[in-house]
Amino acid sequence: MSLMDKLLDLDQRIIYAMLFIALAFPILHPIVLPMDIQAYSQESFDFADSIPDGSVVLIEGGLTAATYPQGGPGLEVQIVHMLRKDVKLVFFSIGTETAAWTVTAINNALARLPAGVAAENGVNWVHMGYVPGGESGTAAFANDIRSVKSEDHFGTPIDQIPLMNDINMASDFAAVFWWGGSEGSIPYGVRQIVTPFGVPMTGMCTTNEVPNYSPYINSGQLHGIIGGVRGSAEYEYLMSMPGLALGQAMATNFGGLLWAFLVVLGNVLYFIARREGGNK
């Protein structure tokens, strides 16, 4: 077997090791490069910023352990953003794990809140917790919250929560923020809340899902979207609250460059091998 063939059939474990090094290195030795704001992030931020003070907003927390490092910093900053505008927040999640991570986001955000901003559980925000049933569950929740939830995430009966007094369906909200992470659940919100109730919505998804939702953005069903860690980093930047997302955005540089290098290398070798094969 020639060197060329060996390189073309490179043992996959060598590639894995290279990738580990490329991604771990920038974390241990951070390097910050300049960046510009993407249009979708700006649109989403402007939409959130335009929500009238004092209104009530519905937030789906769909981040998991895997997606929290990307979306979490953005969600935390958004909670701070909203509470500073005196916007009331109603959270819910369509997964059990994501419901727990939503609590983490709320706690982290409250810790970062400037002094003097009201953030009382039950008055300024409430977490309705896990709503099972995926899209059917979302539909049921949007039609009649009390039909699926009798208590919030922490076990407080819904009738004892002041914020929930006048709220029982999707049309009671001024907007929806759908932090879908990688759930692929943004269409649930579009189909079960935006289409039937006409409530405007924006959201967050992982970078890979952005193109799937661009049709919804073009048709006006979604007001921009926060895409992955870079979207979060941009929200942090727009709020002037730099955090974890900005650092990670830089580490993707190295992984991306390695990937591009490998693809180019694979093709160059492939063409050389094909030419040699053709000469034989």
The pattern of x and - marking residues 102 through 121 that bind other proteins according to CB under 8 A reads --------------------
Among 133, 171, 272, 276, binds other proteins (CB under 8 A): 133
Which 136-195 residues touch other proteins, going by CB under 8 A?
136-137, 139-140, 143-144, 147-148, 155, 182, 184, 187-188, 190-192, 195
- Taking the CA atoms of residue 164, residue 169, residue 140 and residue 137 in that order, the dihedral angle to the nearest 10 degrees is -60
Among 60, 76, 152, 209, binds other proteins (CB under 8 A): 209
Q: Is 242 in the site for other proteins (CB under 8 A)?
A: no
Among 162, 212, 272, 276, binds other proteins (CB under 8 A): 212
Of 100, 98, 51, 97, which Cα lies nearest the Cα of 78?
51
Six-digit token string for 81? 């953003």
The answer to whether 56 touches 172, Cβ cutoff 8 Å, is yes
In the complex, minimum distance from the CB of residue 3 to other proteins, in angstroms, rounded to a whole number? 16
Pick between residue 117 and residue 264 the one whose CB is nearest to other proteins.
264
In degrees, to the nearest 5, what angle opens at C-alpha 59 toward C-alphas 130 and 236?
125
In the complex, minimum distance from the CB of residue 149 to other proteins, in angstroms, rounded to a whole number? 10
Q: Is 67 in the site for other proteins (CB under 8 A)?
A: yes
CA 223/CA 234 separation, integer angstroms: 16
Six-digit token string for 266? 């694979």
Residue 116, SS3 per DSSP: coil
- Taking the CA atoms of residue 195, residue 196, residue 202 and residue 207 in that order, the dihedral angle to the nearest 10 degrees is -60
Among 1, 3, 9, 29, binds other proteins (CB under 8 A): 9
CA 235/CA 77 separation, integer angstroms: 7
Among 2, 165, 219, 279, binds other proteins (CB under 8 A): 219
- Which H helix or E strand runs over 59? strand 56-61
Residue that has been written with the tokens 């920038």 in this structure: 26
In the complex, minimum distance from the CB of residue 6 to other proteins, in angstroms, rounded to a whole number? 11
Pick between residue 122 and residue 137 the one whose CB is nearest to other proteins.
137
In the complex, minimum distance from the CB of residue 87 to other proteins, in angstroms, rounded to a whole number? 28
Of 93, 115, 88, which Cα lies nearest the Cα of 104?
93
Q: Is 2 in the site for other proteins (CB under 8 A)?
A: no
Cβ atoms < 10 Å from Cβ of 67: 22
In the complex, minimum distance from the CB of residue 78 to other proteins, in angstroms, rounded to a whole number? 18
Pick between residue 58 and residue 229 the one whose CB is nearest to other proteins.
229
Which 256-275 residues touch other proteins, going by CB under 8 A?
256-260, 262-267, 270-271
